[in-house]
Structure 1
């Protein structure tokens, strides 16, 4: 600690001995060292190939052949099938629940309680699951048939909103004690 104090005192004395006050830069700095450096501009040149068609064909990678996916990869938590199948079932369930409420006056909880539509729901779940899994197991991508207004992302968001809609429909009916659609 004593050597640090002595060293700083010695450097202060060195400035004072040079005729400057301690803690300031000496007045005689070269002006050229303070000016910003100018950098040379970077020039990039591209050479044109003689055969542009073959070079562009060689530059673009060929799409990999779609190999059939295994059932376990397709149904994995991060796989393409679970959320899509659940979303499709939720969309059908939400529309069906509202249609039955409008036609018969039974609320969602009453429909689930009496079990009248349970068989219909089980058949629908099996058919939609098989129809959703078949193209994926054959190696087709999820976005393969996606285009225009009906995109793969739009289907995911519609399914998510239908899932939330079913929960909101059940919660509303439970809290109010009456069906959402009053006949």
Structure 2
């Protein structure tokens, strides 16, 4: 299935790029935040203040470009969905990761320490 390959069409409010890219970034960020917390004992805010912002920006750029390449070639995510790895599952996992990351940061802020 082909979609519009115009850059501006991909980034409209209901376009294919915004939620997928944010969801993918949230999934990577949530897992990375928990991994660093478990290995180094740093909460999310400490991770950001100890050099995490350049790493976050670099990861954001890399995931954005990797997500845009197929989109700009006209390939839909739905056309690549198979078995458990469906486009709907990716959207829901991304949404849950967004909520999880916010909940993690909020809980750590309120408690004043790491979650794990």
2:91 matches 1:91: no
Choose the corresponding residue for 1:157, options 83, 92, 109: 92
Choose the corresponding residue for 1:125, options 60, 68, 80: 60
Aligned residues: 116
Query: Per the alignment, in what secondary structure is the counterpart of residue 93 of structure 2?
Result: helix
Q: Which structure is larger by alpha-carbon Rg, 1 or 2?
A: 1
What is the match of residue 180 of structure 1?
Answer: 115
In the TM superposition, structure 1's runs of 4+ consecutive aligned residues that sit over 4 Å from their partners are: none
User: Does 1 or 2 have the higher relative contact order (CA < 8 Å, sep 6+)?
Assistant: 2
Residue ranges of structure 2 left out of the alignment (5+ in a row): none
Shift in Å, 1:66: 2.8
2:102 matches 1:102: no
The alignment's C-alpha RMSD in Å is 1.3
More helix by share: 2
Give TM-score, length-normalised by structure 2.
Answer: 0.94
Residue ranges of structure 1 left out of the alignment (5+ in a row): 1-64
Give TM-score, length-normalised by structure 1.
Answer: 0.61
